[in-house]
Amino acid sequence: MRQAGRYLPQYRELREKHSLRELFFTPDLATQVTLMPIEELDFDAAILFSDIMTIALALGLKLDFQEGPKIDPMVRPEHVDALPFVYETLSPIWETIRLLKQQLSVPLIGFCGAPFTVASYLVEGGLEGIKKWVYRFPQQLEWLLEKIACASIFYLENQVQAGVDAIQIFDSWANVLSKEQFLRFCLPFYRRLIDAAKVPVILFARSLVLHIEEIKDLPCALSCDWSVPLSTIRKTTTQTLQGNLDPDFLYAPLDVVRQETRQLLLSMKEDRAFIAALGHGIKPDTPVAAVKTMVQTVREWIPC
């Protein structure tokens, strides 16, 4: 997650010359950024350089990136009906995927946001605003989620057609909902997105483990944060588990990075359905040497 982010000096150099929107929508540049961590750090898979919020353009909204995605004007309940579908806005992304597939020697992971998390960046008031929709305008929220889901399915299908090998779904803000709300506003959409993808799917949601009983039968891998050890989650599900190191551990001295990585590997040592990874995105000021140490430690690990 955010492996191509601001912690790489090559990325920061490119970013001085180009806006985020330019990077996301210029296939040559997006390709270059996607390849950076693969060339520099030897990961097993690349993640497409794009953003979960590019989908806003397909809903006819104006999107800019400052300190994060900015939608202007933001969506109000009375706007939902009139949101159009402007699918051609996303086509540079298919071109990026085609270029990447010609150059990559590792699999390429595409992605989208889950409708609830995308909606939380679209509506007036952001995360606080969307909680108002949950209680005051639940039907308009469902309708908005439905529209985002349709656009996301189109988005996923086109990524797969252009060549991505797997899809990751991000529901970064699902943790602000109660169980009942999660069952209504999140879970049904996971099923539809997973069905539409037709390639392996990895699902990330903050505090996913709170809903493990509800998601343990979904046909997807689970990307887990660090709130509960993977070996504990394993007791409840046979799904592939990804994670779950706290990204802040990369600020520790390198020998601690090595030790914590080994501890995770050891805790999952006979598990064939385990992907060693961070439990969330890499922070911008993370030392590259720490990321390298983590990757090397995983590479050197010989399962008993």
The residue whose Cβ lies closest to ligand CP3 is: 172
For ligand CP3, the binding residue among 7, 25, 111, 137 (CB under 6 A) is 111
Q: Write down the least CB distance from residue 157 to ligand CP3, Å.
A: 18
Structure letter (DSSP) for residue 83: -
* 202 touches 109 (CB < 8 A): yes
Name the residue nearer to ligand CP3 (CB basis): 92 or 301.
92
Q: Could you say which of 14, 20, 212, 256 contacts ligand CP3 (CB under 6 A)? A: 20
Please indicate whether residue 192 is annotated as part of the active site.
no
| Proportion of the chain in helix, strand, coil states, percent, rounded to 5 | 55, 15, 30
- Residue with smaller CB distance to ligand CP3, 103 or 263: 103
Task: State phi, psi for 46 to the nearest 5 degrees.
Answer: -100, 150
Q: 262 catalytic, yes or no?
A: no
* Residue 70 in contact with ligand CP3, rule: CB under 6 A: no
Q: Up-side HSE of residue 29: CA atoms within 13 Å toward CB?
A: 18
51 binds ligand CP3 (CB under 6 A): yes
State which of positions 153-172 bind ligand CP3 (CB under 6 A). 170, 172
Q: What is the DSSP string of 121-154?
A: HHBTTHHHHHHHHHHH-HHHHHHHHHHHHHHHHH
- Residue in 47, 141, 194, 298 binding ligand CP3, rule: CB under 6 A: 47
Part in contact with ligand CP3 (CB under 6 A); list of ranges 61-69, 75-83, 234-242, 252-260: 61-69
Residue 227 tokens read as 């709130």
The answer to whether residue 247 forms part of the interface with ligand CP3 (CB under 6 A) is no
- 21 by DSSP, 3-state: which? helix
Task: Tell me phi and psi for residue 167, to 5 degrees.
Answer: -130, 135
Query: Which C-beta is closer to ligand CP3: that of 65 or that of 301?
Result: 65
The region of 51-59, 70-78, 150-158, 239-247 touching ligand CP3 under the rule CB under 6 A is: 51-59
Q: Is 255 a catalytic residue?
A: no
Is 87 an active-site residue? no
List all residues 6 or more positions away from 185 whose beta carbon is below 8 Å from its beta carbon. Answer: 115, 116, 134, 141, 142, 145, 177
Is 115 a residue that touches ligand CP3 (CB under 6 A)?
Answer: no
Kindly provide the b/e burial profile for residues 239-251, where b requires at least 16 CB atoms within 10 angstroms of the residue's own CB.
bbbbbbbbbebbe
**89: phi > 0 → left, psi -120 to 50 → alpha, else beta; which?**
alpha
Size of the site for ligand CP3 (CB under 6 A): 22
Find all residues with CB under 8 Å of 193, minimum gap 6, and list them.
112, 114, 149, 152, 153, 156, 167, 169, 201
Which is catalytic among the residues 7, 11, 51, 190?
A: 51
Instruction: Tell me how far, at minimum, the Cβ of 117 lies from ligand CP3, in Å.
Output: 6
Nearer to ligand CP3, 3 or 140 (CB): 3
- Under the binding rule (CB under 6 A), the answer on residue 118 touching ligand CP3 is no
Chain positions contacting ligand CP3, by CB under 6 A:
1-6, 15, 20, 47, 49-53, 65, 68-69, 111, 117, 170, 172, 281
- The set of catalytic residues is 2, 6, 15, 51, 121
